[in-house]
Structure 1
């Protein structure tokens, strides 16, 4: 089976440029092919401590949603068509920009995130390949260490805890199975986007 190594990217959130310049220094095009991000914390300049982190790439505040998609998601989508399982996982503190990066703005088309761009691109590729593909979508949220199906057909819920919990089970081969998780087939980009919107809401 084909496989790829895990890639790790950092995205620096837009904020006051002066605040940024005092908190980090980016060193791109290192000899080893990685970007180095030096961060500073504590005290005044002469007392500040420094930590260095290496990433496959660091996206600066001016990076666009299009930049993020083209560099992170596009190669992974092509890997999927080659039979490689893929995951894009966003990690960061509350308010650090995870939701914006993944789903983007609902009012500005050019600011849509990785998920809607991926859906659009998948259907473009399938149309161009003129091949037989089937797409299925699930939408799972982990909240307070419990998993919930955001596409569950149950109506009139007032909070997420009223949805049935999704239970993760492992078979003898070590493969995960999800009890109480909907798997919905979609045939068009529009259908997939509608499910994304439903889950978000």
Structure 2
């Protein structure tokens, strides 16, 4: 009975924490980081202020935890593709689809994040310190870096021409993100991914 009760308490704790994160996702996505308040998140999560601060030190830590937990499965999937025994061109197509799936599912929140990181937050400046901005930028660099690894592999295998793989990875990332943010992605993510890959890898000249 004691062990069962401990399991119930642990499960309730996890559920409460997830409720807070789910509420934070809604509030941050709608209002941006600067205008969002912990009180709004508390109200939407239907919990108390003490409960929120039991899990999260402040609003920024809550935001970062949300970003981290949303992006970790995506980053893991990218790493698995990058390390797979597949031709580089096939890897690029798969990775583009993963990027599209992730950014389509999290478009509003990541739009907020990108604006804050670039100093273009809802109030015209970033609510983050330089140190905080660098922390988020590192996550972007890590995911884009996985694209770069595969592009470099393609160059080394002779299936891609010699190029600046770092700039090329950022260029591909920018195309993917803008396709999502401009709502050019339809329900057929695989077709969209293949379209981006074809243009990126082969160009549009006849």
Q: What range describes the TM-score normalised by the shorter chain of this pair?
A: under 0.3
Structure with greater helix share of residues? 2
TM-score of the superposed pair, with normalisation by structure 1? 0.27
TM-score by length of 2: 0.27
Bigger RCO of structures 1 and 2 (CA < 8 A, at least 6 apart): 2
